[in-house]
Amino acid sequence: MKREKMPASEKHPEIQYLFDSLVKKLHTNHPDHQDQQLESAFEMALRAHENQNRESGEPYILHPLEVAHICADLGMDEASLVAALLHDTVEDTPIRLKRIRQVFGDEVAQMVDALTKIKHIDFFARFSGRTLSDEQARNLQKLFIAMARDFRVLVVKLADRLHNLRTLGNLPRERVERIARETLDFYVPLARRLGLQAVANEMEDICFRQLNPQEHEWITGMLSAHFKAKRSAYERMITNITRALASEKISLVRCFGRRKSPYSAWLKMKSQNLVPEQVFDLIAIRVIIDGDELDCYRTLGVIHGLYRPMFNRFRDFIAAPKSNGYRSLHTTVDGEGGQITEVQIRNRWMDEVAEHGIAAHWKYKHQLSQLQLRETFSWFKFMEDLSEDHLDSRDFVEKTRESLAQKEVLVLSPQGEVVSLPAGATALDFAYYIHTELGHAASQARVNGAEVPLDYELHNGDIVEIIKNPEGQCRPGPEWLNLVRSPKSIVKIKRWFRRRPRRERIEEGKLLLRTHIESEGLRPLRLMDNRRLLELIKALRIRKIDDLFEEIAAGRLMAPDVVKQLRSKLLERAAQKKLAGSPTDKLAASSAPRPVFRHLVGLASEIGIGSEENRPLRRKVELAPCCTPVRGDPIIGVDNRKEHRVEIHHRNCPQATGCTQGDLVPVTWLAQSSGTYYPSLLYIHALNRVGLLYAVLGKLSQLGINLAGGTHSHKPASGGEEETAELQLVVEVQDAEQLARAITAVSEVDDVIAVYRGFQIGDEP
């Protein structure tokens, strides 16, 4: 019986057309399905949204229909399309979840419920550093757990976001920019985590166009021009590859050129400071065959027989798939006309997964079971591990965010198993990946046959073997939280400490805090003083110091964060104490002797000094060591009749301002530089810690500044409120501008309280 048209669909024929084409897509992807639920969902959504319009003025029902179409294009099942049609009904219409459950069952109702909860969460707040309420964090935790149990929830949500991006035109500019940033920060990484490359690329392109319109126009034009210029070379390669595969009787589905997305190309060129000719994958040739894995390797051999490969750029994602299931062979060859070209080789199924990721598994249910899906998409397994660990909601959200942002490193077990870990992962992370008990009992590791410590950072292709402690007992140390990078490892170590007796946790927390203080080059006696800890626990609303240590051992407080707060208070007190003194005491307060250094004496022209109106000064001059003027400073000359030369002082130098008018000689810097390096005295006040001087000299070295002398003094470690260091460094600079850069750079060093010119007993210049 033919279904009766709804009034809204009669007014807007495109509504009926969209639904009919949706049914056809579902039949194409899933020929054995029964479409009664889809029709019922359409009728329910049509009635619910009948009098609603979008901001553009079009009927609201077009939005859920378009979302369902995106899901259908990805090959999603009927339940997903039903949830897509109904995803806004509970939130925006009188339809209740109970009604959806009665009509469509628990499966659809749970998906709609999870999708409805998303609207109550300000994703952008958490992922851009703004405040996220505890209620939002709890809702977000529930959402991620729901997504881990049913991947389809996230696919529908991503389809919803993609259609919203396609229809941004009628929104205020401020809201458009917020949505675009939120999408790049959160939804695009989620789409890539699921392997939904086409969805992620389109999202990126729209956001890029909205946030950086000029850059988008430039890179798009550049890619088009590049493709046009190289088209003939790529077409010759495609023709040659097609003929060669045919002669080897390898069934080719398609061979074509694929452009790199504008956003990816722009990011790569910007981050690596490259020109288009240095980006070898601006256009890649993609070869899709009808065969198995062995046929992919045969295809690789054929292509390497045609074109010389660059073996340092070969990646085998078939033997070592990405965590989102991506499998392909990537090789870079010296192509036609010397054009360096990337070639990607995969079969039909690999291509389906590469383009549609997790959604491909609903289109081809026979390929993988739900258990295999969870193994393939290990991120969701991690979500389940987090949920089982009963983490605090905020901690759960933070670990989720970290896991989304991390890149991968691929290593091997001694048995040849490929293990995917976050970039920067250590040997201890590998141990915890293999088995929790192996991680707990690890004592050291072997990488590529050589013994290494547990905090050794792993690299692609490393073969890793874990060595247990001689007793084979579980003995994690509290410092292990500083040795691992994987959120999964952190969760397992924290879980271990939570199960230890309270007395042990207190001692472990104390040791962990002390260890981290020492690793920062600070003094534990100073930072772990009871007065300071009492001040800290009051701010953290913790009752006792022992409770603070227990929270650190359990992982609910991170030792680096605690040390950061203690250090901040220490710096604040030191700065207040320094500011409390008189401005005229800056240099006098230093207990360090003034450094001895060679100040400049010579002919005025050699040092770059002239008389008024930039005329040569035919006299001998001396750059005064009391104020160490440099080129660009305001200067004044003082006639030293005894030494028969002119002393050059900074105009603010007290010794110059105290001279009589008859002793002063008007001088200036010559317009043309003499190439001289001028000594200048810097006074640095900082917390005293291991590595302070090294960090300061490192900053100066980065600027190409030489050290000509210096002195150092500090207060005793056990005396006073805080131990501070006082440095007087003589640096050689070309001019005042370089000196200003040096002061700025040194002031950015951790624990530096103040930096200024050593002579400045009076006002700033």
CA torsion sign, 380 to 386 to 388 to 393?
negative
Joined together, the tokens standing for residue 756 give: 């200024």
Joined together, the tokens standing for residue 464 give: 């890793």
The residue to which tokens 């980065």 are assigned: 702
> Which candidate, 684, 673, 675, 667, places its Cα nearest to that of 731?
684
> Do 731 and 705 form a contact (C-beta atoms < 8 A)?
yes
Phi-psi region of 195 (alpha: psi -120 to 50; beta: other; left: phi over 0): left
**Residues 742, 703: Cα–Cα separation, whole Å:** 7
Length of the chain, in residues: 765
Amino acid present at 614:
N
What is the distance, to the nearest Å, from the Cα of residue 711 to the centroid of all Cα atoms in its chain? Answer: 40
**Residues 165, 200: Cα–Cα separation, whole Å:** 12
CA torsion sign, 22 to 24 to 27 to 29?
negative
> Which candidate, 14, 88, 89, 92, places its Cα nearest to that of 58?
14
Supply φ then ψ for residue 521, to 5 degrees. 80, 15
Joined together, the tokens standing for residue 693 give: 């001087």
**3-state DSSP call for residue 167?**
coil
CA atoms in the 13 A half-sphere facing the CB of 765: 21
Amino acid present at 748:
E
**Residues 123, 120: Cα–Cα separation, whole Å:** 9
Residue 50 annotated among the catalytic residues of the structure: no
Joined together, the tokens standing for residue 346 give: 């995969």
Greatest distance between any 2 Cα atoms in the chain: 118
Query: What is the C-alpha end-to-end distance of the chain, expressed in Å?
Result: 91
Joined together, the tokens standing for residue 561 give: 């964060």
> Which candidate, 46, 48, 50, 90, places its Cα nearest to that of 65?
46
3-state secondary structure 162-210: HHHHHCHHHCCHHHHHHHHHHHHHHHHHHHHHCCCHHHHHHHHHHHHHH
Q: Write the DSSP symbol of residue 260.
A: P
**Residue of 91, 205, 355, 663 with catalytic role:** 91
3-state secondary structure 716-731: CCCCCCCCEEEEEEEE
The residue to which tokens 């459950």 are assigned: 101
Residue 92 annotated among the catalytic residues of the structure: yes
> Which candidate, 300, 337, 545, 43, places its Cα nearest to that of 35?
43
CA atoms in the 13 A half-sphere facing the CB of 244: 18
From edge to edge, which strands make up the β-sheet containing 464-468? 450-452, 442-447, 464-468
Given 3-state DSSP classes, what are the helix, strand and coil percentages for the chain, each rounded to the nearest 5?
Answer: 55, 15, 30
Residues 6 or more apart whose Cβ sits within 8 Å of residue 232: none
Phi-psi region of 236 (alpha: psi -120 to 50; beta: other; left: phi over 0): alpha
**Residue of 73, 92, 107, 122 with catalytic role:** 92
Burial code (b: 16+ CB inside 10 Å, e: under 16) for 105-124 equals eeebbbbbbbbbbbeebbbb
**3-state DSSP call for residue 646?**
strand
Classify residue 724 by burial, with Cβ atoms within 10 Å: 0-12, 13-18, 19+: buried
Burial code (b: 16+ CB inside 10 Å, e: under 16) for 603-634 equals ebbebbbbbeeeeebebbbbbbbbbbbbbbbe
Active site residues: 91-92
